[in-house]
Structure 1
C-alpha cells in the first residue's frame, strides 16, 4: 500500500515506541459511493499512522472488477486490486451512496464477504453500504444503522433486523455508520478500541472534531438549528409533534404540556414559524407520509394510518392539497426526499 506523504515530522505520542502488526483494511467501493465517508475513513487511518509514528493501519481500495469507480460527485478512484485479489485483511468496509439503495452486480462478491466474515474479518459499511450487508445476510442478529432518510425503507425491506437511528453502531465484529461525518466517529471509535482513546482523541483534534461522538448521538441536527429559533416552548412543541406522527397529539395537549393556552401557542408559532401549530403538525405528517410512499411497500391506506389519518379519502385529500398530486403518484420516486 503506498504511504501518503505528510511533509512534516509526526508528533510522536509517548505510548507508541514499538512496532505493531498493522491492521489491514479493505475498502470495497460501489459505483456512486459518497466521498465524505470514504475520505473520513482513509484520513482517520492515515493520521493515526502519522501521529503514532508507526504503520498501525494499511488500506486497500477494492472494486468488483478491478477497474476505477466513480464517486457520487464524479471523482474517479482507481483501486489497488479486484476484491478477491486483495492481501489478507482484518477489516472490510463497504462504501456505497447515490440516491437509491445500491446493489452489487455479482453474487460472488457477497459470497466472498460471507467467507471473510466466517474467517473472522471485521465487516462494516458506511451510509447505504448497510443495504448491501443486509442483503448478504451479514447483519442478521446484529445492531445496525443507516442514514435517517432511508431508515423507513431499510426497516421495510429488512423487518427482521435490529435497525436503529444511531449515528453509528458497533456490535461485536460488525459496524455500520449512517454516512457523512458519522463515518469519522465510527473510525475514531475503532481506533480507540485498537490503540486507546488517547490516540483517537489526537486524531479527532487533527480534524478539528471537538469530540468523539458516542453512537447514541442523534443523526439529525438539533431542532434549534434546523428551525433557526430559540424559543423553548415552540421547540418542545415541534419535538412532540415529530414523536407522535402515528398518533398525533391535539393542539390542546401540546399547549398544556408547555404550560400555555392554545391561543398562546398559536401566537408563538406565528411569531417564530409563520404558521399555526395545526398546520405545522399536518406538514410534518404529510412529509413523512411522502417518504413512506417513496421508500416502502406500504399501501396508501397503511401510509395514511401510519401518519395519523383515520381514512384514505381524508389522507388523499390532504396529500393532494400539500403536494399537488395523489399519493399513488409518488410511489417509488426519489428515495432521499
Structure 2
C-alpha cells in the first residue's frame, strides 16, 4: 500500500542493543545529504531507544538517543536498527510499541541489518517480503512462516522497507529518496558519497 509522501518526513531510528553502527550511518547520511543538496528540509530524524537510555552498538560505542521512544508520536516512518544477538534485544515492551506505531501512528515501517526480526516477531511483516542480514535468513524463514524472506540486499514492499547489513541500508535509502523526490537527487547523493553504483534490490 503506497502512502502520500509529506513535504518533510520525520523518521525515527529505533536503536536496539548491539545494533551495527555502520548500518545506522548508512541509513542516516543519505537523509542529511538529501537536505543539503535540495537546499531544504526534506527529512528530519531522531535516534530512539525504548527507555531513552544509552544503547551499546556492536562495536562497543555507546550512543545516547535523542528521545525515549515511548514518549514519541507522529513519525512518518520508524526504522528498527538491529545487530548482534537480535533475539535477546526484543522485549514484550518493544513488541507492544512497534504494534502501536503500526496501528495508530506510523505510515511506514523499516528495518536494517537484523531489525527485520523484531518487525516479524511483532507480526508486522506477515505477508510482506523482507530482507535481513544473511546470517539470519534461514532461521528467520523457519521462525516466521508468514514472512517472505528474500535474499535481496534490500526489499521495498508497499509501506515496508528492509535491508540486510553492512552498507546495504545506503542503497535502500537512496532508492527511497529517489522514489520520494526523484532519481536525479539520489544520483547526486551517490556522487557526493563517491559511491560508484547504487545497487538494485537483486
- Tell me the TM-score normalised to structure 1 length: 0.56
1:1-23 CA distance string (max 9 Å, x none): xxxxxxxxxxxxxxxxxxx7310
Separation (CA, whole Å) in 2 of partners of 1:163 and 1:43: 26
Cα offset, 1:102, TM superposition: 3.1
Would you say 1:208 and 2:191 are equivalent positions?
no
Cα offset, 1:34, TM superposition: 0.3
Higher alpha-carbon deviation: 86-95 or 135-144: 86-95
Would you say 1:165 and 2:169 are equivalent positions?
no
Separation (CA, whole Å) in 2 of partners of 1:87 and 1:115: 10
Matching residue of 1:108: 93
Map 1:56-71 to 2 at 5 A: 56-71=42-57
Q: Which runs of 5+ in 2 are unaligned?
A: 1-5
Would you say 1:132 and 2:118 are equivalent positions?
yes
Q: Which runs of 5+ in 1 are unaligned?
A: 1-19, 217-337
Cα offset, 1:105, TM superposition: 5.0
Q: Which has the higher helix share?
A: 1
Q: Which has the higher strand share?
A: 2
Separation (CA, whole Å) in 2 of partners of 1:135 and 1:103: 12
Whether the 8 Å CA contact 2:90–2:118 is kept in 1: the answer is no
1:44-92 CA distance string (max 9 Å, x none): 1001111111111000010011011111111111111111222410000
Whether the 8 Å CA contact 2:131–2:149 is kept in 1: the answer is yes
Would you say 1:54 and 2:40 are equivalent positions?
yes
Computing the radius of gyration from Cα coordinates, the structure with the larger value is 1
Map 1:12-91 to 2 at 5 A: 21-91=7-77
Aligned residue-pair number: 196
SS of residue paired to 2:170: helix
SS of residue paired to 1:102: helix
Separation (CA, whole Å) in 1 of partners of 2:147 and 2:73: 31
Which of 120, 130, 138 is the matching residue for 1:144?
Answer: 130
Following superposition, which runs of at least 4 residues in structure 1 exceed 4 angstroms of deviation? none
Cα offset, 1:115, TM superposition: 2.2
Cα offset, 1:200, TM superposition: 0.6
SS of residue paired to 2:14: strand
Would you say 1:175 and 2:161 are equivalent positions?
yes
